[in-house]
Amino acid sequence: MRVTFLAHDGFLIELNTVCLLFDWWKEPIPPPLDKPLLVFISHRHEDHFNPEVFTLAERKADIQFLLGSDFHLLSRNLEKWRLTPEAAAKCRRCGKHDVFQPLPAVTVETFPSTDEGVAWMVTAEDKAIFHAGDLNWWHWAEEGDAWNRNMEANFKRYTEPLRGRRADLAMLPLDPRLESGGDLGPDYFLGLMDVRRFFPMHQWDHFEFTDEFLKRYPQFAPITVKIHHNLETFQLD
């Protein structure tokens, strides 16, 4: 499994028979590869979605776009995103509790987000790959106690179906804007799931925040993949 960190929350994962592109929005758009490509867009926030991604349909026939629940394929949106009829035909809007097979050997599950759209669990080639999107335990100091308590309750409720699930690779928000509150989501995720490799994301290029997290939670160091820069590539067993 070859993993390329594109930027922020964007990843390209290359397996033997399929490629998975998650939440691309900046850096050079990955070139089409010689295997089917599934493009996952968790939601419409501009740090997760760039309409230019749809231009991949012009260069690649065996491609599918899997869109989060906040996408609506209305005519005005198709025009705004410059989505051609050919690209629109390759789009699937996903609900918050879907399970389906976009390819015969690939299963996709969706989970609600505590912000917009969905999180993804993808099973392919006996690998379980989780991309959280904006599903996170957001704890903002400037929000009131009631808001933060409600966020905690929703996060725990939405993630409960993941309890005990194996994730060979989990891409989870570790957001430095939350300061000490940035630990809450990954700490909970990594205790909830059986995660083999954890890729921090949503760090706004502050990659040193991973080191700060690991100083507080050294037990997660063996499974954490430290990212140093955009377009960094990792080869995983």
In degrees to the nearest 10, what's the CA dihedral of 143, 138, 51, 119?
Answer: -150
User: What is the rounded CA–CA span in Å between residue 57 and residue 70?
Assistant: 21
pLDDT confidence bin for 31, thresholds 50/70/90: confident
For 166-197, the pLDDT digits (tens) are 999 999 999 999 998 999 999 999 999 999 99
pLDDT band for 237, please (50, 70, 90 cuts): confident
Average model confidence (pLDDT) across the chain: 96
Task: Convert the pLDDT of each residue in 94-104 to its tens digit.
Answer: 999 999 999 99
Q: Which residue has the tokens 């997290």?
A: 213
Is 0.85 surpassed by the pTM of this model? yes
* pLDDT for position 32: 73
- Contact at 8 Å (CB) between 169 and 196? yes
